[in-house]
Structure 1
């Protein structure tokens, strides 16, 4: 392993959206340090946390259209039937919803759970309830994507949380997206809901830890095979 590879494996990349916040924390830390050593160390810890929060590590994503991959790092908080948000135009019937809750220590870069074409992006203002609550899916501020995948229409919804006040979407409507590709980021603590067609079978349970871009959360059946992988 050469020096460059060693550095890449030692230092996780920071997403560009985080640098203004990290710089702000750092400046406050330096100013506070002029007056109080104790507060300096507190602010330094908060700066380190901010840097950690905006990490954007590479992920090894299975390349298999039969698999649905986790869109977020965190804990699976819900698995079961639910009505999709009305603004996504996914109909009035229940779909299989899998939710992943991100706390303030999770990596908050979100990724596409499937490959396909983005046919709709809808943002809705709302409340900032605890994202672990079931009603957060319908009452909280959110940003939803509809992806036409090889196995049907899939909804992906970024849901704001108790301390989350900003949802960022990196993708545009009418563009193609690959499984595991980055779709957005939420500051600071939230969840992502995935709405799947009836043909999808969940492969995770509530309480399970999921890794964005890597953990298989559902599949569309078919004969088992060893998928290829892509680093993203």
Structure 2
């Protein structure tokens, strides 16, 4: 396991703040060692949680150009046909993955191909499972085409997630499972597939980025 580069500053700031809080408690309450130990214990748990949030576990990634691989860890909360208004402007099959704060938050390319679109949108911070979060929340849309199919992936900020990071630019050639970006502290990722695509997951199923097969392309 390694720590993602997006976590370096957050982990350092958290360490300094917790160190100052603990130092202040031990200095201002020298006669209350129990209180100091409680604060130290809570600080340690919080610090370890922050570190775990930015973890990148070692995994054997699944590679297959006929498959759409999960771009994120989490739970499948939506599988439905819907109108995609930003890029395709027609009906698509939407699969949405909810990422809790405890999940790995690296986002990966579901297929290899050329980046056709990479567009950031400012927006609201509705809870990630809200039906309108896909179109009203802060979000970043990416479209990847492989010559036969185009897949849209949308990173969506949630009530806690206040920063979406995306590394892709239009015209780039990308590989399946390479890092697409990162979302901090809980979020959602939507995938838009061609109508008729064979979906390989079910509602409430837990998926793993880079490993779980979301769908098979025609």
TM-score normalised per structure 1: 0.86
Are the equivalent residues in 2 in contact too, given 1:26–1:44 (CA < 8 A)? no
How far has the Cα of 1:29 moved from its partner?
1.9
How far has the Cα of 1:64 moved from its partner?
1.4
Quote the Cα distance in structure 1 between the aligned partners of 2:153 and 2:134.
Answer: 11
Among candidates 80, 104, 109, match of residue 107 of structure 1: 104
Listed as ranges, the matches of 1:172-183 within 5 Å are: 172-183=169-180
Q: Indicate the residue corresponding to 1:208 in structure 2.
A: 205
Asked whether 1:23 is paired with 2:21, we answer no
Asked whether 1:33 is paired with 2:22, we answer yes
SS at match of 2:12: helix
Gaps of 5+ in 1: 1-11, 222-232
Among candidates 82, 89, 93, match of residue 96 of structure 1: 93
Quote the Cα distance in structure 1 between the aligned partners of 2:84 and 2:43.
Answer: 41
Q: Indicate the residue corresponding to 1:75 in structure 2.
A: 75
Determine which structure has more spread, i.e. the larger CA radius of gyration.
2
Deviation readout 1:70-123 (Å, 9 max, x if unpaired): 01000001011112242xx212x2101111100000000000111110011111
Are the equivalent residues in 2 in contact too, given 1:32–1:40 (CA < 8 A)? no
Deviates more, 1:145-154 or 1:109-118: 145-154
Taking a change above 3 Å as real, the CA distance of residues 59 and 150 of structure 1, as seen in their structure-2 partners, is: farther
Quote the Cα distance in structure 2 between the aligned partners of 1:66 and 1:59.
Answer: 20
Quote the Cα distance in structure 2 between the aligned partners of 1:66 and 1:78.
Answer: 22
Among candidates 117, 124, 127, match of residue 127 of structure 1: 124
Deviation readout 1:41-80 (Å, 9 max, x if unpaired): 2122111000000011233222211111001000001011
Are the equivalent residues in 1 in contact too, given 2:81–2:195 (CA < 8 A)? no
Deviates more, 1:93-102 or 1:196-205: 196-205
SS at match of 2:41: helix
Are the equivalent residues in 2 in contact too, given 1:115–1:150 (CA < 8 A)? no
Gaps of 5+ in 2: 26-35
Q: Indicate the residue corresponding to 2:29 in structure 1.
A: none
Quote the Cα distance in structure 2 between the aligned partners of 1:28 and 1:121.
Answer: 36
Q: Indicate the residue corresponding to 1:6 in structure 2.
A: none
Computed over aligned residues only, the root mean square deviation of the Cα atoms, in angstroms, reads: 1.2
| Number of aligned positions between the proteins | 207
Quote the Cα distance in structure 2 between the aligned partners of 1:155 and 1:85.
Answer: 11
Quote the Cα distance in structure 2 between the aligned partners of 1:210 and 1:151.
Answer: 25
Q: Indicate the residue corresponding to 2:148 in structure 1.
A: 151
Consecutive aligned runs of 4 or more in structure 1 exceeding 4 Å deviation? none
Asked whether 1:14 is paired with 2:11, we answer no
